[in-house]
Structure 1
Amino acid sequence: MTGLRWGSFRDAGVQVSKYWYLGPLKTKAAHFFSTLQEWPQTHQASLLYTGPKARPPSVADETPPRPSLYRRILRRLVSYWAQPQDALSQEASPEVWRDVQLSTIELSITTRNSQLDPTSTEDFMNICIEPDNVSKGDFISIGSKKVRDPKLRAKGTECLQASQCALLLPEGTGGSFSIDSEEYEAMPVEVKLLPRKLQFFCDPRKREQLSPSSAE
């Protein structure tokens, strides 16, 4: 997944094609007619999320040679008889979940798949909560620009960084999500990053350019 959008900007954007007969004014018309509905348009939900996680180390390109049979047997015996008291006494620390009550004109959850940062030490997705007090004029102006640049945000937008999140909608919530530009019925969803799950071929010269050691 690259991104999820839920809100009034998204709803108006998918209606633009209905006003094709207005030519270059169709985008502004779609957002103008959206403001004639109940205003302000707010979307309320509960958001649970955890903070960024440390990026796992890169997998070595070359597999080290397999140790001899004698060494493998010895290693298994040592591992079997050893008593890792420290490992047994240490329990995995529970993840800290934060709870945010949303009242927003639009919520977006975007991963960084399309804009990777090889120098970053953390993996996270961006959660942007746009304010619910956008004026009608700003809604038409910003919304028209969002059709061309969905990354544009209204002034006062709050952005969070999370490794996983759960969006809980009130019972009876209608509307739709856009997930990677595909429309789905709005419902409770959970998004979780799965780092190192996919591997892609990369030209060695390009990889060298993106490596942290070559970054200034």
Structure 2
Amino acid sequence: MQRIIKIGKTLRNNWKKSVFGAVVLFYGAATAKEKYEINILMQAACKEAVSYGDSVIPIDRNPTLVTVILNPVANKRKAKKDFEKYCEPLLHLAGLQVDVIQTTSEGHAKEIVETLRGTEAIIVAGGDGTVSETVTGLLRRNDNANRFPLGVLPLGRTNTLGNTLFPGGDGVLRVKQLIQACMAIIENNTTVKNVMKIEPIVNEDEVPSKPVYALTSIEWGAFRDTLAKKDKYWIYGPLREYASYIFNGYKDSLCWNCSGTLRYTPPCSGCSNCLRKKPEIKRKWFFMPSNQAAQETDLTSLQNPECTMTNELCFKTCDFKIKPNVTDGIPILSIGLGKNQYSYIEFVSEGWNRARNGDDLPEVVKARTVELQPLDSNKDLVLAIDQEEFEVKPVKITLLPNMVKFFCRSEVKG
């Protein structure tokens, strides 16, 4: 009997070892295949970068200086390693003079860009936060004739704009995304993006702080608060977003009451009222000067009586979002409001649906400018501007159409 038990234990242990060995071999083979595919991609990209540098850039021209603003702690400190491995070699092989400046604290990217001189382009190596800081620093400059095109290397944990400009993914797809982002810079493919200007509304006796600029979204409410907590549940791996809804759907720490007043002006395709004089460009943008001068419509004689009309909306919800959009060719601020109340089951179900399909709030208002007056200005309430957290305060949000030039894939338009 003991012999039979001993044989059974031996067979069970051997089975466990064989299964473990099979798993190790499987993932080892998958990793080896992924590394091989990445090496093939990088070899082809390096050849293309060298070819472009040799054939396009004149021999008698000084190397183009590009400044890289690198957030070394982005994506759990993986950003620097990925930049040095997949991005920096391509930029050097293309004949660019690369000046890398690493950020050391929150807000450092803004300071760098506000005082930057002598460069011909800025490359942001990081996530949404670093991109937002860079754009804010760029648009706070008072030398309107000295705007730089921006390149985005999506190396952060959240890369909303980067994923819009270049298709993303994991593993091989992520490396392919970084290669495409670098080649867009090298080949000088550009597009323009709308920007949201966020200014605090203060009393006459208060000194206003500088405006903040955003590219993707302004969010407020319980769903945003839940997503901000998802990394606490890292043990659940790719299911941590689902776990966050399960464990937080009943908590009072989430903002279940977003209430206040919106004063907004309607969208406008352009008239004398909303005309904003664009800066005169006195320098070439990147490798070569543009062959065509910008043809702009004279808006000074156009009148749109509705442009100055102000509407007001009182709201109460637990899900609030503003994002730039385009409707019928007209840039707009799209304001979405969710339901006022959710039961626990409804909240978790809706959260899981958004985790699978993305959040698409019902659009209730289209606007050009918005004044947000929260009913309750509490220091514990958080407004997320391009994923960065700010205290909820009265603010004015203005849409600035076609404000910043970004490097992009050649097929991306606008």
- Tell me the TM-score normalized by structure 1: 0.65
1:62 corresponds to 2:276 = no
Q: Identify the residue that residue 335 of structure 2 maps to in structure 1.
A: 127
Q: 5+ unaligned residues in a row in structure 2: which ranges?
A: 1-213, 279-291, 296-300
Q: Identify the residue that residue 36 of structure 1 maps to in structure 2.
A: 250
Q: For 1:94 and 1:62, locate their aligned partners in 2 and report how far apart those are by CA, in whole Å.
A: 29
Alignment-mate amino acid for residue 162 of structure 1: A
Higher helix share: 2
Task: Give the drift of 1:8.
Answer: 0.3
Q: 2:260·2:314 contact (CA, 8 Å) conserved in 1?
A: yes
Q: 1:52·1:161 contact (CA, 8 Å) conserved in 2?
A: yes
1:162 corresponds to 2:349 = no
RMSD in angstroms over aligned alpha carbons? 3.7
Counting matched residue pairs gives 174
Alignment-mate amino acid for residue 194 of structure 1: L
Q: 1:52·1:123 contact (CA, 8 Å) conserved in 2?
A: yes
What does 1:41-190 correspond to in 2, within 5 Å?
41-55=256-270, 61-62=292-293, 95-112=308-325, 120-147=328-355, 150-153=358-361, 157-173=362-378, 174-190=380-396
Task: Give the drift of 1:3.
Answer: 0.8
Alignment-mate amino acid for residue 334 of structure 2: N
Q: For 1:199 and 1:51, locate their aligned partners in 2 and report how far apart those are by CA, in whole Å.
A: 25
Percent identity of the aligned residues? 25
Alignment-mate amino acid for residue 41 of structure 1: W
Task: Give the drift of 1:146.
Answer: 3.0
Specify which structure has the bigger relative contact order, considering alpha-carbon pairs within 8 angstroms and separated by 6 or more residues. 1
Alignment-mate amino acid for residue 181 of structure 1: Q
Change (3 A) 1:20 1:53: same
SS at match of 1:111: strand
Q: 2:266·2:306 contact (CA, 8 Å) conserved in 1?
A: no
Q: For 2:255 and 2:293, locate their aligned partners in 1 and report how far apart those are by CA, in whole Å.
A: 58
Q: 2:217·2:323 contact (CA, 8 Å) conserved in 1?
A: yes
Q: For 1:96 and 1:195, locate their aligned partners in 2 and report how far apart those are by CA, in whole Å.
A: 19
1:5 corresponds to 2:219 = yes
1:194 corresponds to 2:400 = yes
- Tell me the TM-score normalized by structure 2: 0.36
Task: Give the drift of 1:171.
Answer: 4.0
SS at match of 2:401: coil
Change (3 A) 1:147 1:190: farther
Q: 1:7·1:106 contact (CA, 8 Å) conserved in 2?
A: yes
Q: Deviations over 1:86-117 (max 9, x none)?
A: x9xx9x777111111110111100013xxx67
Change (3 A) 1:49 1:41: same
Change (3 A) 1:62 1:150: same
Larger radius of gyration: 2
Q: 1:109·1:126 contact (CA, 8 Å) conserved in 2?
A: yes
Q: 5+ unaligned residues in a row in structure 1: which ranges?
A: 65-86, 212-216
